A and B are shown apart, each in its own frame.
Chain A
Amino acid sequence: MTEGPRNQADTWRENAALLNLTHDSIFVRDMNGRILFWNRGAEETYGWSRAEALEKVVQVLLSTEFPKPLEQIEADVLENGRWEGELVHRRRDGTHIVVASRWALQRDARGAPVEILETNNDITSRKQAEEVLRESEERNRAIVETAHEAFIAMDARGRITDWNHQAEVTFGWSRAEAMGRHLVETIIPPQYREAHRRGLQHFLATGQGPVLGKRFEIKALGRDGHEFPVELTITPVRVGSTYIFNAFLHNITVRKQAEEVLAGQKAALARTNVELAAANKELEAFTYSVSHDLRTPLRHIGGFSQILEEEFGPRMDPAAQQSLRYIQKGVQEMGQLIDDLLNLGRIGRQTLRERPTELNLLVEAVLADLKPETERRQIEWKIGQLPSVKCDPGLVKLVFVNLLSNAIKFTRHQERAIIEVGQIRVKGEQVFFVRDNGVGFNMRYVDKLFGIFQRLHRQDDFEGTGVGLANVRRIIHKHGGRIWAEAEPYKGAAFYFTLGISQENSLEKSMVVGGE
């Protein structure tokens, strides 16, 4: 060791009081790395006292990690007299810190390098903050890149400053190609460019932009020249004295097409509704006319045939009298037909007035109404426990009137008629039934059963107009329910019905009901 460096070290020592004032860690080491001076800042930073540190080789003591090989750094120092860089040091407690390190070379009077002054500034927390920031940026980038929406950013001069993967897919320009291009010329069709530029200028001048921050639709331009609708939102973000504009957008071609199809269907539906309303009105006028005009000539036929009978009957021979009675019977039947027909139309037009209804009470009321038909008859009634259901009581009463008077009628020849009313569950669905042991019918004709004016029995055997069950079915359908029948000739018939989806809770059940 020469005298020079010692002298120099003495100089540092003399300056120690001054150097100890700084929080920076400062030390001096010779060209072999041996520590000659160690200030208080270094003691605080690394945990090694001056006594412990002196004479140690610095890169050993601090397990220094260099950004490049030490030889190269020393070569730099010898060449330039100084070096700056970031180092990682290990402290006495084993923890690592990052320091911003500045080296200064000292030469002796002859110009030979003797020692290096290192000033180290602990930047660990700054580095950590930078790391956190970098990670956060990476995360954000990943979000933007994997988004299904195209993300485009633009600066106040209208140049593209960001362009994510979806933007590449949507417009056909790669990120590298798009960055720095004028946005307007890249994705806006020519006819809208001027408006777009004006909008940007207007915003920059006034801070107002009617479309900013809102979701709106425009036509966009792909790299291949085709135009397509996009939905986008643009948000201006103030950065210092200027703005950047962030836009999220997506191609809505498919949605637009679906909307067009839907609009077409809507229009068609509206047309159908108008036609339907017209047809309904016409039907109403028709029924009204039937109700008034068809009855009038019938009354005349009936009236005058009765007058004939009353005034000339005694002078007529029996065949003529019989003919008159046939006419009168025909008039009565025709009158009944007209009434039934009008009822059918009325039920069709009527809106449901649903409310909770005790079916047992309803059936009781029907049986009371049917008293005249059951007098002088031996009928065993089996009325089961029925629930309260939500339905139109007036209409459902008609259902029971029809089904029960049918049962009464078709058990007429039975010595002991049995008529049952009850409910069963079929696949979780509530099913009501009316069953009799009457004349029944052949299941071959079951399809005709509910058709209007369809009859399965001869008029001479069982009177009727063939409208009753058509009415019943209409009412059941109005409730969203189904009706079906089972029968066997001379054994009896059973009618089953449901009262529709309003009675059921689960979707599955409602599908069963609806799936007739």
Chain B
Amino acid sequence: MTKNEIEILLVEDNATDVELTMRALRHDKLDGCVQVVRDGEEALDCLFCRGAYSARRFDQPPSLVLLDLKLPKLAGQEVLREVKSDPRTKAIPVVVMTSSVEEKDLAQSYRLGVNSYVQKSVDFRLFEERVKQLELYWLHVNEAPPPGAFLME
């Protein structure tokens, strides 16, 4: 296991999408470190170390959050807002991965501080390639934020 218990937090309510995303990730043998949460509320519990996730620690956040926008209970935009407005979670890289490229979704996500925005392509090969690129970039190319980045200022 790497330094983080959870490498990727996949926030996705659709089981088939979870399956497709996991298939895209499987090739890199990383799936053991992928945590899947099925709605916005659970995503926040996980990221804010509360409820079922109270054993988690703020200074060991996931290396990457793949966030769908259309989610039950709490929309992806709300999750993004909470994460990016709290000093303890603000530094976590969040990538919105969603079906649409509606201008207002894009604009709002960037305003809220998203790190990247990727459309889930209808073409599976393209989809697969994008997921792999994201994983490669955020987990291997990018220098992750140090633990000090997750403390209260």
A residues near B (Cβ < 8 Å) are 288, 291-293, 295-296, 298-300, 302-307, 331-332, 334-335, 342, 346
CB within 8 Å: A-B pair count = 55
Provide the B93-128 mask, 1 if CB < 8 A to any CB of A, else 0: 000001110110000000000000000111111010
Q: Which residue of B lies closest to A305 (CB)?
A: B124
User: Considering the chains assembled together, what is the distance between the CA atoms of A296 and B122 in angstroms?
Assistant: 8
Q: Could you name 13 residue pairs across A and B whose Cβ atoms are closer than 8 Å? A: A292-B70, A293-B70, A295-B99, A295-B100, A296-B120, A298-B122, A299-B20, A299-B99, A299-B122, A304-B16, A304-B124, A305-B124, A307-B23
Contact residues in A for B103 (Cβ distance below 8 Å): 346
Q: Is the CB of B99 within 8 A of A331?
A: no
Question: B99 touching A296 by the CB < 8 A rule?
Answer: yes
**What's the minimum C-beta distance from A449 to chain B, rounded to whole angstroms?**
28
User: Are the C-beta atoms of B123 and A332 separated by less than 8 Å?
Assistant: yes
A295 CB to closest chain B CB (Å) equals 4
Do residues B123 and A291 form an inter-chain contact, with CB atoms below 8 A? no
Contact of B14 among A296, A306, A331 (CB under 8 A): A296
Q: Is the CB of A299 within 8 A of B102?
A: no
- CB of A291 within 8 A of CB of B127, answer no
| Cα of A331 to Cα of B124 in the assembled complex, Å | 10
Contacts beyond the supplied A293-B99, A332-B123: 8 A-B pairs with Cβ under 8 Å? A291-B100, A295-B100, A299-B17, A299-B121, A304-B16, A304-B20, A306-B124, A335-B122
Looking across the interface, which residue of chain A has its beta carbon closest to that of B16?
A300
Interface flag for B10 (CB, 8 Å): no
Given contacts A291-B99, A295-B99, A296-B99, contact A306 B125 (CB under 8 A): yes
Query: Is the beta-carbon distance between A292 and B100 smaller than 8 angstroms?
Result: yes
Partner of B127, one of A292, A303, A332, A342: A303
Taking the nearest CB of chain B, how far is it from the CB of A349, in angstroms?
10
B69 interface residue per 8 A CB criterion: yes
Using Cβ atoms and an 8 Å threshold, which residues of chain B touch A307?
23, 124
A106–B69 alpha-carbon span in the complex (Å): 128
Q: Which B70-111 residues have a C-beta within 8 angstroms of A?
A: 70, 98-100, 102-103
The answer for the CA separation of A291 and B14 in the assembled complex, in Å, is 16
Contacting pair A295 B23 (CB below 8 A) = no
Query: Which residues on B sit within 8 Å (CB–CB) of A292?
Result: 69-70, 98-100
Q: Closest B-chain residue to A311, C-beta based?
A: B23
Set of chain B residues within 8 Å of A302, measured between Cβ atoms: 122-124
| Bound Cα distance A59, B73 (Å) | 121
Which residue of chain B lies nearest to A300 when distances are taken between CB atoms in the complex?
B16
Give the Cβ gap from B78 to chain A, nearest Cβ, in Å: 16
By CB atoms of chain A within 10 A, which of B100, B102, B125 has the most?
B100
| Chain A residue contacts of B23, Cβ below 8 A | 307
Q: How far is the CA of A221 from the CA of B123 in the complex (A)?
A: 81
Which B residues, 1 to 40, have Cβ-Cβ distances below 8 Å to chain A? 14, 16-17, 20, 23
What's the minimum C-beta distance from A357 to chain B, rounded to whole angstroms? 22
**Separation of A387 and B70 alpha carbons in the complex (Å):** 46
Most buried by B among A288, A296, A298, A335: A296
Residues of B within 8 Å of A346, CB to CB, are 103
Q: Complex: how many Å from CA A293 to CA B14?
A: 11
Measured CA separation A304–B123 after assembly (Å): 10
CB distance from A39 to the nearest CB of B (A): 109
Contact of B124 with A303 in the complex, beta carbons under 8 Å: yes
Would you give the shortest CB distance from A311 to chain B, in whole angstroms? 10
Say how far A190's CB is from chain B's closest CB, in angstroms.
64
10 nearest A-B pairs in the assembled complex, by CB-CB distance: A303-B124, A335-B122, A291-B100, A295-B99, A306-B124, A300-B16, A303-B20, A292-B99, A292-B100, A292-B70
CA distance A342 to B100 in the complex (A): 10
A291 to B100, CA, bound (A): 5
Q: Are A299 and B100 in contact (CB under 8 A)?
A: no
A288 touches B122 (CB 8 A): no
